[in-house]
Structure 1
């Protein structure tokens, strides 16, 4: 069975009233097709450690994937926070562990660890978190990056584990995901590149005696005809172009040197790949995550998604528009994904 995920911006730029956030959350909670909702992380966004509990309290069905950056708080504190949130939400929690591809964004929060060490630290971070969730007795930890004594949680996740989602393209990211991730999150790529990435992670996971699921993130621009879908996609493209020079739409900085970003930008030498895979926004947003798109009718897009499913993708994170967010217009295609794929 294929799962459907989407993203939810905690508060839009300039919002100082939660009314619209409440409306968006209730809309997603009523969806019969969306399985999980990603609440992202950036040092300039509203803090998802506040918005995630708020969203969980507002809803009774919506499951959250809460993005979390190692290095912001100690892993024992993070373990306690997420265990509490998992219990209060009735087990509707997963964590998207993001080491951070932008030095500028990490430096805003006082994290100056070199990029070469971030996955090593993240691995220790998760080791401590998982031990705090599951260890039967209090334990001490003396590691390379963290020290803690007599760690013991009175409240633990409902299943002694919160599912871990992560993504990344570097060798270090692949090794980290292979050893720790329950679901490896892939940015949208053409079919050949997606197949290569899945096989690479699978092989690494087998080396650890593990199996990993895969999700694929794509913006969808859908129309009753292909021409109508392209009109929608081009309108979004124009809106982002007209906002250049402002901070209205997040984009990757030219100083960001992540392997994933460089791989995304390498796709933009051609605007269209396979049948309807479009890189126009990837180029415009500098390789920013979730900017790869499929453009076409529902039938055309379902045919493309079926090919990704056959490669081993078991979940699709779908969004649309300028913000890569959920829109009610996606509900029908989300239903079809679950029914037909």
Structure 2
């Protein structure tokens, strides 16, 4: 995940003022250490993500951008052209992460007062309009619950055909129905292996009901050191720092946060490596699921998720740029090597 300014030890990096040098340097750092993509997040008060991503793309060569986007913030016809234009200018270096909003309060600050369940229905219709515009060779008409379009057409089509991958996240029934019907990748936070297996199986069934196959992405925060003991010392020091800065944890604002806090209530540690201490201390306002250990131990834990069918991972640390380099240097090669070995074993067994 790239932010707009350097913040040192931080749980989230997207808010604040813009440092052009930081945007360039931090994105280049990810590219240097062989990350495939970087996430450009979305908050109502933050810098606009497409502009940040395009600026970063113009100063890099290969790295891709997963751009978070809120349906309803602009009309779907404009959003379709924004995505297609970015995709063409960067020759396919993007995916789109569909989010319905972190909270009603954050949505209201942008002038959007639609309840969350309705926002997911709107998001589905929004994506339906966008797909029509991306794929139609003639003007389209659309009349739905939230949008009406007459003679809509986009001269510009996406570079990626038929269009860039559509990610989504969420745990409510509205989110799951929207994602199963309209999106390509289900992005989840790190959870215990048993519940993750059940979640993957459940969502595959939901997507199959619409005749669709879907991929999975998992967000994790590695906390690494040369020894396991040193890694846990680092995790506990980080937790103390977060608790000192944040005080009492706020109440969860969405179903995904409630899930993470439920695991934290059962215990801070699950499956030996999964640590929910930061989730517990912060109210789990996003990617707060941590894996603690040596690079080899964390890679082994990630590969257990890979065996469950989760084939992409959003990995970011807390102390940047140091953690970005360490993850790219010490962890990503182990994960990629292990995933390749698992794939080869599966092919040999067929």
The alignment's TM-score, normalised by the length of structure 2, stands at 0.89
User: Of 293, 298, 310, which residue of structure 2 is paired with 1:313?
Assistant: 310
**Per the alignment, in what secondary structure is the counterpart of residue 188 of structure 2?**
strand
Within 5 A, what are the aligned runs for 1:75-90?
75-90=76-91
Whether the 8 Å contact between 1:39 and 1:52 is mirrored in structure 2 is yes
What is the CA RMSD across the aligned residues, in angstroms? 1.9
Deviation at 1:325, TM superposition (A): 9.7
Aligned to 2:275: 278
The answer to whether structure 1 residue 298 and structure 2 residue 299 are counterparts is: no
Aligned to 1:153: 154
Whether the 8 Å contact between 1:166 and 1:183 is mirrored in structure 2 is yes
Give structure 1 stretches of 5+ with no counterpart. 1-6, 246-250
Deviation at 1:65, TM superposition (A): 0.4
Within 5 A, what are the aligned runs for 1:25-36?
25-32=27-34, 34-36=35-37
Aligned to 2:118: 117
Deviations 1:73-112 (A, max 9, x none): 0000000101000000111110000011311111110010
**Per the alignment, in what secondary structure is the counterpart of residue 246 of structure 2?**
coil
Aligned to 1:334: 332
Aligned to 1:64: 65
CA distance in structure 2 between the aligned counterparts of 1:149 and 1:323, rounded to whole angstroms: 48
CA distance in structure 2 between the aligned counterparts of 1:290 and 1:16, rounded to whole angstroms: 22
Range 260-269 or range 318-327, more displaced: 318-327
Whether the 8 Å contact between 1:219 and 1:324 is mirrored in structure 2 is no
Aligned to 1:239: 241
Deviation at 1:18, TM superposition (A): 1.4
Aligned to 1:4: none
CA distance in structure 2 between the aligned counterparts of 1:237 and 1:75, rounded to whole angstroms: 41
Q: Residues 44, 221 of structure 1: CA spacing in aligned structure 2 closer, same or farther, 3 A cutoff?
A: same
CA distance in structure 2 between the aligned counterparts of 1:197 and 1:154, rounded to whole angstroms: 40
CA distance in structure 2 between the aligned counterparts of 1:197 and 1:151, rounded to whole angstroms: 38
Q: Residues 301, 160 of structure 1: CA spacing in aligned structure 2 closer, same or farther, 3 A cutoff?
A: same
CA distance in structure 1 between the aligned counterparts of 2:320 and 2:197, rounded to whole angstroms: 27
Give structure 2 stretches of 5+ with no counterpart. 7-14, 340-350
CA distance in structure 1 between the aligned counterparts of 2:45 and 2:175, rounded to whole angstroms: 24
**Per the alignment, in what secondary structure is the counterpart of residue 327 of structure 1?**
helix
CA distance in structure 2 between the aligned counterparts of 1:325 and 1:201, rounded to whole angstroms: 36
CA distance in structure 2 between the aligned counterparts of 1:16 and 1:80, rounded to whole angstroms: 25
Q: Specify which structure has the bigger relative contact order, considering alpha-carbon pairs within 8 angstroms and separated by 6 or more residues.
A: 1
**Per the alignment, in what secondary structure is the counterpart of residue 223 of structure 2?**
strand
**Per the alignment, in what secondary structure is the counterpart of residue 66 of structure 2?**
strand
Deviation at 1:264, TM superposition (A): 1.1
Aligned to 1:41: 42
CA distance in structure 2 between the aligned counterparts of 1:252 and 1:46, rounded to whole angstroms: 26
The answer to whether structure 1 residue 183 and structure 2 residue 185 are counterparts is: yes
**Per the alignment, in what secondary structure is the counterpart of residue 291 of structure 1?**
coil
Whether the 8 Å contact between 2:4 and 2:16 is mirrored in structure 1 is no
Deviation at 1:16, TM superposition (A): 4.5
CA distance in structure 1 between the aligned counterparts of 2:323 and 2:82, rounded to whole angstroms: 27
Deviation at 1:175, TM superposition (A): 1.4
Report the number of matched residues. Answer: 328
Deviation at 1:165, TM superposition (A): 0.5
**Per the alignment, in what secondary structure is the counterpart of residue 58 of structure 1?**
coil
CA distance in structure 1 between the aligned counterparts of 2:321 and 2:181, rounded to whole angstroms: 29
Q: Residues 163, 310 of structure 1: CA spacing in aligned structure 2 closer, same or farther, 3 A cutoff?
A: same
CA distance in structure 2 between the aligned counterparts of 1:326 and 1:123, rounded to whole angstroms: 36
Deviation at 1:323, TM superposition (A): 7.7
User: Of 215, 221, 224, which residue of structure 2 is paired with 1:222?
Assistant: 224
The alignment's TM-score, normalised by the length of structure 1, stands at 0.92
**Per the alignment, in what secondary structure is the counterpart of residue 327 of structure 2?**
helix
CA distance in structure 2 between the aligned counterparts of 1:157 and 1:214, rounded to whole angstroms: 23
CA distance in structure 2 between the aligned counterparts of 1:113 and 1:96, rounded to whole angstroms: 20
Whether the 8 Å contact between 2:246 and 2:282 is mirrored in structure 1 is no
User: Of 240, 255, 261, which residue of structure 1 is paired with 2:257?
Assistant: 261
